[in-house]
Structure 1
Amino acid sequence: MELALVDRVRTVLSRETDLGVVFKTIVEAVAQTFHYSHVTVYLLKEDELYVQYFVGFEQVASPVPLTSGILGRTARTGEPVFVEDTVQDPDYIHTAPDIGSEVCVPLIDQQTVVGVLNVESTKGNPLTGADLALMQALSEHIGVAIGRARLYSEVEASEARYRNLFEQLNDVIFTLNPQGVITYVSPAIERYTGYAPEELLGHAFTMLMDQQDGPVLIGRVQQMVAGSTTPFEFQMRTKDGARRWVRSSARVITDEQGTVEVHGVLIDLTDRRRMEEERIKLSKLESLGVLAGGIAHDFNNLLTGILGNPSMAEIILNPDDEAYKNIQNAEQALMHAKDLTYQLLTFARGGTPIKAPVGLQSLLPDIAAFALHGSRTRCEMTIAPDLWQIDADAGQITQVLQNIIINADQAMPNGGLVEIDASNVSFETRRSPETAALPDGPYVRVVIRDS
């Protein structure tokens, strides 16, 4: 019977890796086979013993210090203890009525005590030396099983910890088989592509690639599967058809069984590429600004020389002469050209406008006259006599208003009427959809209508 019990327990322990099942199997098998009334198993954690499973007791002491009781003595010394009469042993801790004898054996794994197996019996059914020998025989298998189960639990915990780490990474971790089929992909893939990991498992890695890239990328994947560790960049196709730039780095791994897999990582480069494109644009704008500044400076010098001639002609000509008016128109056009050079210089300085108080009541008539010069379009203008000044770059506001008036004129090829209305307004509580985004305060409103 003893051999059958040992064999039964050994069979269970050899295949079981769950410590809870191991302890339950041990305690119940020992109690049922030999009709032991009270059986407990404890695990040692630091300097205390913690109960794992028991039968026969309403409750047991836990934790038990190594300095306390027969349990503590067994774990502390690593030696089995057989107590024929519990009344005579000063270390006995009373836990149940009418207990007469006790066998306590250490559970040892790799020469280290990891717990104790304890059997107690009533006075009418005393334990013997044969019970001690049986528990010692069982304890060898139990200690090994505990060590194996603990190791398995540690491996599981380590695997869960690293899996959790992979799953929290922003980068995408993936594995492929030798055919380039995805065998694992971390949850980060859904954040970038919209595909859940399970949607990609079993599909070719090229599923994530833009088909327009064609054979080049397919060749890259084949090289990766063949063992190439050279990173490469490509546009990853998302579930909704968008594109994201990524860099793929991978290496071939062969395990002890000879199984070959590609382990790799995808790093999202979309934002980095976008920033690089913006940097290039800014660099080009800076170069363009330098060029514009140089042209504006030279052009301004030419205009300054040219402007001297109309001024001299106005001195010579009679104001009533028709040529005098033409000279004035030419001078006005040259002044507008000079304003354009100032706008170019503003752009060259980074686009910051040169703001100053501007009175539109004197500016609007000149702008309209210049924009409609030679046109069949008439202009009617209504300007509030108390029109407020505005804080603006005179050159830029002139260009804006002039372009609007020219657009209105071009919309009427056979001529028509352009109406310009300038008035003061204050936005505080009443707003239209067009002015909803403006802060409260005083404004000058200019309305330009064509017929």
Structure 2
Amino acid sequence: MISYKENGDNPIGNTRETDLSSLLQCVGAVLKYPQFRDAAREIFIQCKQLIGAGHGYVALLSDSDHSTHEVLFFDEQRSLSEKTAPLVLRLKSLAAHIYQTGTVYSDNNFLESEWANLLPKDHLPIENILLIPIRSNEKVAGLLAFANKPGGFTEYDVQLGTYFGEFASIALHNKRSSEQLKESEERYRRLIEIIPDAIIISAEDKIVFANAAAARIFGAGSAEALIGSSSVGFVQHQSRQDVQKGLVDMHSRNEATPPSELQCMTVDGAEVDVEVVATPLVFQGAPAELVVLRDISLRKRMEEDVLQATKLEAVSVLAGGVAHDFNNLLTVVLGNLSIAKMYAAKDTQILHKLKEIENAAQQTKELTRQLLTLSKGAALSKKVVSLEDFLQETASFVVRGTNVNVSFSFADDLPPVDIDAGQFSQVMNNLLINAIQAMPEGGTIRICAETLNIIHNGLLFMLEPGRYIKISVSDEGGGIAPEDLSKIFEPFFTTKEEGTGLGLVTSYNIVRQHGGHLAVESEVGAGTTFNIYLPVSSGAIEQRSSPDCICTGHGKVLLMDDEENVRKMAGEMLKLLGYVVDFVADGEEAVVRYLEEWSKGRKYDLVILDKTVRGGIGGQQAIEKLRDIDPAVKAVISSGYATSDLLTDHKKYGFKECISKPYKIEELSSVLQKVLEQ
């Protein structure tokens, strides 16, 4: 039982290195020193330094009548001094209370406690205090005492102190009960077994002791299965020589090694990343090493995710800029093509050629869309869809005409998902094409979907708790080599002669934008499986519609775009559709022109604003000023590079509609008609 008062919050301020080093020193002290005084001194020093107490002492209850207790050493000015004279143990004292109750006592307001009045007048002033019992044969036989910590003791200090009290208890028990050595060893082992870090003792390059955590980390059936194994046998081959040299240096210096990271292997050959600290000790009369290892594989994976995100961010800047400029050029190309088709409507031969050019431009538009997605700049246009129908339609279309079959397995009552169908088709296309290319002799692609609940944060996948659909796409190909698997989602990494290295990294980004995760499993000779995790939608399935007709109209339009070619092309489109057009190059000009016409009573029926203007005011800033002039202004946002939700949530910013570059005359006419009818 632990008793404490006003310990406040429990911030763990101690570093991993400090925890490991102190643990090593205390375990080593228990094993190394046969005398309790020596072991207790080391335990006391480590505990006091770790929790940051100002003063403290270690005392033992007298063996005879338990009426006095002996202070073995007392730390008053941060230097240990011997004070061996027995002190009378008064019945009404805090020390007597701890001996009687056997509880840990912590109080950060000691001056206001009932015990403060019982202290001698010449006693050291006490502001806060932590008393930890030292036990022998299940009875309290001594005390670890600490006082005057700046800021007060925390619950974590109490927990740490309890552990150090256990170590001191073990040391005392060893000293007083040599005939009960087996019992003492069992208590020590139990303490070691509850520690989540692996603890190994090795001598002459052989493991002579290992705890359960070591067996778990290295994939052994039991700790006993590790006994007799080479102490460096689990270290990666390329690092073994350095590790052996480090152990030799450690013994020559007779001091613990600093914490370091190391890549090891499990019994099955799987890689595991560990943080390791070692210290020399004497085991059964011979030189040995005490090694503490902590599994940091999860932390390393998360660091790799952060590194991957950093790489993507660097590529994003380049990809986004290229996509923006390229979309402006494509807007001119596709716009002029759609105009040319109208002029050539009666010449079927020219019209056919123009349609071929338009198809090629549309394919280029999809490449730009990939670049935008890679740069996180492609706005999502989500709809709630039936995943079963979507997957079946997409997969059946992709494998058509190949020597590959597709099998589907869907859980009953599969809920819908909220996705951008165009972008998610891109994900499935990339995965399916990879699967087809992995099976040149033919085979079967298996697509499965099931619902799962993530109760706690999925740190490995960085997923929030909730309901998800797991989509698995598996092939029967040759698998992916381990050295390539870790690079699979890196930009521009490819094993194909004609590959771009953008397919999987783009797919990864799309899935992350949908609040999900994309992971891969593969084994050489056993195929590859890509697993997609998507949040379940609570909405109703929506139906899509995309009108593709040219709708003429009339009215006065103000067009703002910083690209002259875009202004000319869009202006010609608008005139062909029946509108009167004025042109400006940036948002500031748009505001001035709108205000001029407004003040003369000649209001614009509609304004088209480009989102991004180099060196000037863009559409988002311009609409705010236009709404100050005319709260009822009808505005459309146009962009070739959306870095936010401006296109998907345009109404939040005051726009009636949006149009993405590049666009054709059919798309422009549809948007204008929709806005003017509002």
Normalised by the length of structure 2, the TM-score is 0.30
The TM-score with structure 1 as length reference comes to: 0.44
Structure in which a larger fraction of residues adopt helix: 1
Of structures 1 and 2, the one with the larger relative CO (CA 8 A, separation 6+) is: 2
Look at both structures and tell me which one has the larger radius of gyration over its CA atoms.
Answer: 1
